[in-house]
């Protein structure tokens, strides 16, 4: 991953956003959002070796692949939700930002439902 | 006349040469083995679980052969411990690798979550990683808890099978008071240990684990104090039971020993004085019979001790392994800064400590009561 690419893109987007905010604030928000999405996509593509290494580690440790998928998916949801939430806060819409965070939490909980069920079954078995 | 005398002597010499008679002492080993089988010890031994009999068989101990008991040496026990540890090591090590894998993956991914590290979404991600660890660790740990409960139940069944043998041999060896006292005491120990462990302590350990899992998953729900209270209750109850049991055992053994000594001496005196001419010989014969029965009782007691040691070693080793796994995982979780998972792992470690104490207490109750019964007989 080329950090200079990311830094250059981020600084350029920031300058554009500052310039556009004086004339068209909505375009500034869109510029920030677009730059965030591009950087996020670039980082995700570049971090494929990290993710495959983590998956290999979980596989070697004899953990079910579904657990590893749940961990990775929840991390991805957290990233996307945080990106959108930050964009909304930048635009001054903190209420919408909170709703996005709430949606992100629910999405993670839904993804992790099989884990919840398994642990709840274990806890009930222990109590009975 | 002289000729007849010489002929008689010659005839006697010929008879001695042609018809020799051999005189020897009885074969005590076969006699003891026969007595051992007839005492019911072999039948009681057959009530032990198959894996215990197999383990004792590998050490060279056969339940129907008194001589084979001498093969139960420290070396054979150490070999058994080593082989059991190697056999029981696989599941804890696999779980340890799984937990460490999850912790490392969380740490690796955590380095990437700095963008929301201080924000609300971090709590949710921590929850998911703790759920992963709970799912990986709790399944084998609950199996360990069930295994310990099953072993305690089996041990009390074995004790119940040996009690009539002890009582009969105790009475035959001139310790009727001790036989009666220890019969009741051993029966109480076996039933009480089984019932209290199976219906009291093990469910409380399970509940403690369940509360700790819920507490780790929901940090907002503060049930740590309930879990801590349950741990204190179990620890206190264990200490109380062992103290009361030891006190009763000591007092009963002292009283019954004194009573048996008086009874035995009175019986020998009466036999020696009441039977004319051969009274002292009969009294000595009574002594011999009682000594033989005492030897049977010691042999049977030694066999039962071996059975209990071999039965309780695997669950103790299992619990110690899981405790070690949980402690090592806590160290890694603290190093990597995964606090929520660290709380869950500490709870698992505490639960394994409680379970180890429970299994040790059950083992000691049975082993100590049989040992005191044997020692009471030896000093008489």
Angstrom distance (rounded) from CA B19 to CA B300: 44
Q: Match 């070690």 to its residue by tokens.
A: B324
Specify the length of chain B in residues.
Answer: 380
Tokens of A1: 């991953």
Angstrom distance (rounded) from CA B346 to CA B212: 9
Q: Does residue B221 sit at the A interface (CB-CB below 8 Å)?
A: no
Angstrom distance (rounded) from CA B368 to CA B364: 6
Q: Tens digit of pLDDT for each residue in B294-346?
A: 777 777 888 888 888 888 988 998 889 888 988 988 898 888 777 777 888 88
Angstrom distance (rounded) from CA A107 to CA A110: 5
Angstrom distance (rounded) from CA B79 to CA A22: 82
Q: With the CA atoms of B256, B262, B265 and B266 taken in that order, what torsion angle do they form, in degrees rounded to the nearest 10?
A: -120
Asked if the model's pLDDT at residue B24 lies above 70, the reply is no
| Average pLDDT taken over every residue of chain B | 77
Sign of CA dihedral B341, B347, B352, B353: positive
The CA-atom distances, in angstroms, between B216 and each of A73, B103, B131 are: 22, 15, 9
Residues in chain A within 8 Å Cβ distance of B94: 62
Residues in chain A within 8 Å Cβ distance of B206: 126-127
Q: What is the mean pLDDT of residues B123-142?
A: 81
pLDDT at B73: 77
Helix axis angle for B279-336 and B121-172, nearest 10°, is 180
Q: Tens digit of pLDDT for each residue in A50-90?
A: 777 767 766 766 666 777 788 778 878 887 888 888 888 88
The CA-atom distances, in angstroms, between B303 and each of A38, A78, B2, B166, B184 are: 76, 63, 67, 11, 20
CB contact under 8 A, A62 and B124: no
Q: Mutating which of A88, A101, A119 best tests the B interface, going by the most B Cβ atoms within 10 A?
A: A119
pLDDT at B134: 84
Hey, which of A13-17, B79-83, B219-223 has the most confident mean pLDDT?
A13-17
SS3 content of chain A, % helix, strand, coil (to 5): 90, 0, 10
Residue in B with minimal Cα distance to A107: B124
Closest CA to B374 of B305, B313, B308: B305
Residues in chain A within 8 Å Cβ distance of B210: 123-124, 126-127
Rounded to a whole number, what is the distance in Å from the CA of A94 to chain B's nearest CA?
Answer: 14
Q: Tens digit of pLDDT for each residue in B252-270?
A: 767 766 666 666 666 666 6
Query: pTM above the 0.95 mark?
Result: no
Sign of CA dihedral A78, A84, A88, A93: negative
Residue in B with minimal Cα distance to A70: B128
Cβ-based interface (< 8 Å): residues of A facing B: 47, 50, 53-54, 57-58, 60-63, 67-68, 70-72, 74-75, 78-79, 81-82, 101, 104-105, 108-109, 111-112, 115-116, 118-119, 122-127
B299 alpha-carbon distance from chain centroid: 17
Contacts 24+ apart (CB under 8 A), B321-326: B321/B85, B321/B88, B321/B89, B321/B92, B322/B92, B322/B95, B322/B140, B322/B141, B322/B144, B322/B348, B322/B352, B323/B349, B323/B352, B323/B353, B323/B356, B324/B92, B325/B92, B325/B93, B325/B95, B325/B96, B325/B99, B326/B137, B326/B352
Angstrom distance (rounded) from CA B227 to CA B204: 10
Asked if the model's pLDDT at residue A105 lies above 70, the reply is yes
Residue in A with minimal Cα distance to B105: A54
Residues in chain A within 8 Å Cβ distance of B209: 126
Q: Do B205 and B214 touch, CB atoms closer than 8 A? A: no
Nearest to A119 among B102, B124, B217 (CB): B217
Listed by number, the residues of chain B in 135-164 with a beta carbon closer than 8 Å to a beta carbon of chain A are: 135-136, 138-139, 142
Q: What is the mean pLDDT of residues A8-24?
A: 87
Three-state secondary structure string covering B111-154? CCHHHHCCCCHHHHHHHHHHHHHHHHHHHHHHHHHHHHHHHHHH
Q: Mutating which of A67, A82, A94, A104 best tests the B interface, going by the most B Cβ atoms within 10 A?
A: A67
Q: Tens digit of pLDDT for each residue in B40-99?
A: 777 777 778 888 888 888 877 776 666 677 777 788 888 888 888 888 888 888 888 778
By percentage, how much of chain B surpasses pLDDT 70? 75
Residue B304 phi, psi dihedral angles, 5° rounding: -65, -35
């Amino acid at each position: 991953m080329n950090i200079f690419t990311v830094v250059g893109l981020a600084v350029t987007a920031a300058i554009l956003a500052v310039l556009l905010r004086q004339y068209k604030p909505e375009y500034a928000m869109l510029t920030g959002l677009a730059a965030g999405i591009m950087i996020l996509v670039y980082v995700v593509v570049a971090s494929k070796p990290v993710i495959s290494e983590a998956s290999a580690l979980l596989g070697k440790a004899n953990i079910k692949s579904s657990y590893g998928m749940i961990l990775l998916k929840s991390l991805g949801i957290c990233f996307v939700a945080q990106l959108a939430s930050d964009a909304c806060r930048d635009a001054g819409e903190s209420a919408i930002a909170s709703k996005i965070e709430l949606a992100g939490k629910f999405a993670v909980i839904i993804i992790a439902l099989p884990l919840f069920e398994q642990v709840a079954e274990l806890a009930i078995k222990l109590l009975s | 006349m002289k000729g007849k005398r010489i002929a008689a002597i010659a005839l006697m010499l010929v008879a001695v040469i042609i018809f020799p008679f051999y005189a020897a002492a009885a074969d005590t080993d076969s006699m003891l083995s026969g007595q051992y089988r007839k005492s019911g010890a072999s039948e009681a031994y057959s009530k032990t679980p198959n894996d215990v009999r197999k383990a004792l068989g590998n050490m060279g101990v056969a339940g129907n052969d008194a001589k084979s008991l001498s093969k139960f040496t420290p070396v054979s026990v150490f070999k058994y411990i080593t082989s059991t540890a190697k056999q029981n090591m696989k599941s804890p090590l696999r779980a340890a690798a799984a937990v460490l894998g999850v912790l490392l993956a969380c740490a690796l991914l955590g380095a990437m979550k700095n963008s929301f590290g201080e924000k609300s979404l971090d709590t949710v991600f921590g929850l998911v990683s703790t759920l992963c660890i709970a799912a990986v660790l709790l399944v084998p740990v609950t199996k360990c808890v069930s295994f310990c409960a099953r072993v305690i139940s089996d041990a009390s069944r074995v004790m119940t099978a040996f009690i009539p043998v002890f009582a009969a041999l105790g009475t035959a060896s001139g310790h009727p008071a001790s036989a009666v006292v220890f019969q009741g005491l051993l029966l109480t120990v076996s039933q009480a240990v089984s019932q209290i462990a199976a219906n009291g302590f093990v469910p409380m350990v399970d509940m403690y684990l369940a509360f700790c899992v819920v507490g780790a998953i929901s940090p907002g729900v503060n049930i740590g104090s309930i879990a801590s209270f349950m741990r204190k209750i179990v620890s206190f109850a264990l200490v109380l039971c062992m103290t009361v049991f030891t006190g009763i055992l000591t007092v009963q053994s002292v009283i019954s020993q004194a009573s048996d000594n008086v009874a035995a001496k009175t019986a020998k005196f009466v036999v020696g004085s009441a039977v004319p001419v051969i009274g002292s010989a009969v009294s000595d014969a009574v002594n011999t019979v009682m000594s033989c029965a005492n030897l049977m009782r010691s042999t049977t007691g030694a066999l039962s001790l071996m059975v209990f040691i071999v039965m309780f070693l695997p669950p103790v080793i299992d619990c110690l392994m899981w405790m070690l796994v949980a402690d090592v995982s806590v160290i890694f979780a603290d190093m990597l800064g995964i606090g929520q998972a660290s709380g869950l792992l500490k709870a698992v470690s505490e639960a394994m400590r409680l379970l180890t104490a429970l299994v040790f207490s059950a083992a000691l109750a049975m082993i100590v009561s049989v040992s005191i019964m044997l020692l009471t007989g030896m000093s008489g």
